Amino acid sequence: MIPIKQYTISVLVKNKFGALANIAALFGDRGYNIESLSVNHTLDPNVSHMTIVSSGTSDVIKQIQKLLSKVDNVISVEDVTSANHIERGLVLLKISASKENRFEIIQLTETFGGKVLNVKKDSVFIELTGTPEHIDNYLALMKEFGLLAVSRAGRTAICKD
């Protein structure tokens, strides 16, 4: 059986109307799922950087790369999964907190490198960045306190070389 795994694809596109829609349509039309997506302009306001995470076999990902490179406004496509890169995600949380457990939540958050954004009488608002695994581990711990809201942003990646 051919292994299916997550791949991180870095795409540079001309910052033009419809670029994101065209790329999303490419995935949807072929039945590929975008598991994570992050888009923003680069140092050049005419160019945007997209980080797309999708799952499949290596052949499927190669096909996605080939198809992406043919999309209007795409400048470059690179699978950075096995490259020397840094990849991070962001999560914002609202966690149920009582007077009795608030300190423990804050202490765990600080241990994970998170930031307390706001403290209310019955809840705490947290910001955490890290690898997907780091965030998953933190969320698993916070579930026992009661997650009231979770907003997880798409991953972003940059090559070190």
Could you give the 3-state DSSP secondary structure of residue 6? strand
Q: Which residue has the tokens 């033009």?
A: 16
Domain segments of the chain: what residues? 5-83, 86-159
| Residues constituting the chain | 161
Model pLDDT, residue 129: 97
Query: Residue-wise pLDDT tens for the chain (161 aa)?
Result: 778 899 999 999 999 998 999 999 999 999 999 999 999 999 999 999 999 999 999 899 999 999 999 998 999 999 999 899 999 999 999 999 999 999 999 999 999 999 999 999 999 999 999 999 999 999 999 999 999 999 999 899 998 87
Strands (E), the chain: 5-14, 36-41, 47-56, 74-79, 85-96, 115-119, 123-130, 147-159
**Structure confidence at residue 49 (pLDDT):** 95
5-83: which CATH topology?
Answer: Alpha-Beta Plaits (3.30.70)
Q: For residues 55 and 35, is the Cβ–Cβ distance under 8 A?
A: yes
CATH homologous superfamily of 86-159: ACT-like. Chain A, domain 2 (3.30.70.1150)
Q: Record the pTM.
A: 0.87
At 41, is the secondary structure helix, strand, or coil?
strand
